[in-house]
Amino acid sequence: MPILAIARKLRYRAASLRRDDSGIAAIEFAMIAPMLVLMLFGITDVANYFAVDRKVSQIAQTVSDLTSRYTTVQESDVTNFFTVAGAIVNPYDKNALKTTIHQVYLDPSSKTAKVVWSRGSVPLSKNSVYSVPAGLVSKDASGNWLANQYLIVGDVKYNYVPTIGWVLSKTGITASEIAFTKPRQMTCVMLGSTCTPSGG
């Protein structure tokens, strides 16, 4: 075969190889696939965290509201409130849930909120000072705190540990919520024999 014919055939084959794009899609997919997988698991972890965060808010509001409807709560009632909290957090791990209920007294003499009673995962000592939003404190025209003010506090935390941990920290991220409710039927909700911070 003449050299010219061989050269022409080689040029034709080289040109046909340049035009052949049958493997481009596979190569592009191989380059993009890891990023797509990362995005899929990342979106799943973030979506689960927001779902947990929403449940934490619901739990804080629920336990605070339930407690505020009573005039007197027993230890068994408080245990039931925590059972409700565990049911709300399903299908997520309820062992990662920390739920605490406090009743605080708004002391007009010291202008501080003091813990009357506290039950749950992270209970506070009686008479310890608790921070409450200023807008929840009723005052007279002179700015003095009014007497006989109490608040029920639902304090909830959940350490969400992601399934994969490529986007969120593998050690987890904490969702937290604090809900305040005023007692509905009496000035305070008794647990024990009194509502005063120093007794019961």
- pLDDT at residue 45 in the model: 81
C-alpha–C-alpha distance, residues 188 and 195, integer Å: 6
Q: How confident is the model at residue 199 (pLDDT cuts 50, 70, 90)?
A: very low
CA distances from 28 to 18, 22, 37 (A): 17, 12, 14
Q: What is the pTM of this model?
A: 0.77
Strands 173-181 and 129-130: unpaired
Q: Please state the rounded mean pLDDT for residues 167-184.
A: 88
Neighbours of 122 (CB within 10 A): 11
- pLDDT at residue 200 in the model: 38
